[in-house]
Amino acid sequence: MLQENETREDCTEDPSAEGDDEARELTPLEEEILSTLKTVYDPEVPVDIYDLGLIYDFGVNAEGKVDVKMTLTSPACPVAGTLPIEVECKIKAIDGISQCNVDLVWDPPWDPAMMTEAARLKLNL
């Protein structure tokens, strides 16, 4: 899981990031979870939920229990009832995962600045 002072971008290795000595390497299981998160899309936006900045944190323990902290673009999002369930189901389908808990949070509120550079480019922002 992310440390208190890390951002979600610190979880992934970016070969273009210089001087980012504090980014930790993901385990193979964490890499698979990240890849799975990148297969979930907000149906109104052609960008996956991770690159949109909707995933605030995720971690997996030694027993295969995954905790995901995520948000939505707005509390009135039409997929508020289904998107977290999709995340949970897709992660639970990964070999080695015994349980998945998705915590839908609203603080901090999502902001377009939370998107990755790739998402901004894809959306021409």
The pLDDT tens digits for 79-90 are 999 999 999 999
pLDDT in the model for residue 44: 84
In this prediction, residues 100-110 reach a mean pLDDT of 96
Number of H helices, E strands in the chain: 3, 3
- What's the rounded Cα separation, in Å, for the pair 30 and 7? 16
pLDDT at 95 over 90: yes
CB contact at 8 A, 101 and 34: no
CATH topology of domain 20-122: GMP Synthetase; Chain A, domain 3 (3.30.300)
Q: Write out pLDDT tens, residues 39-70.
A: 999 888 889 999 999 999 999 999 999 999 99
Higher confidence at residue 2 or residue 102? 102
Q: How many CA atoms lie within 13 A of 47 on its CB side?
A: 22
Question: Whose CA is closest to 38, among 55, 29, 50, 26?
Answer: 50
Domain extents for the chain?
20-122
Q: Write out pLDDT tens, residues 11-29.
A: 433 333 333 445 679 999 9
pLDDT in the model for residue 23: 66
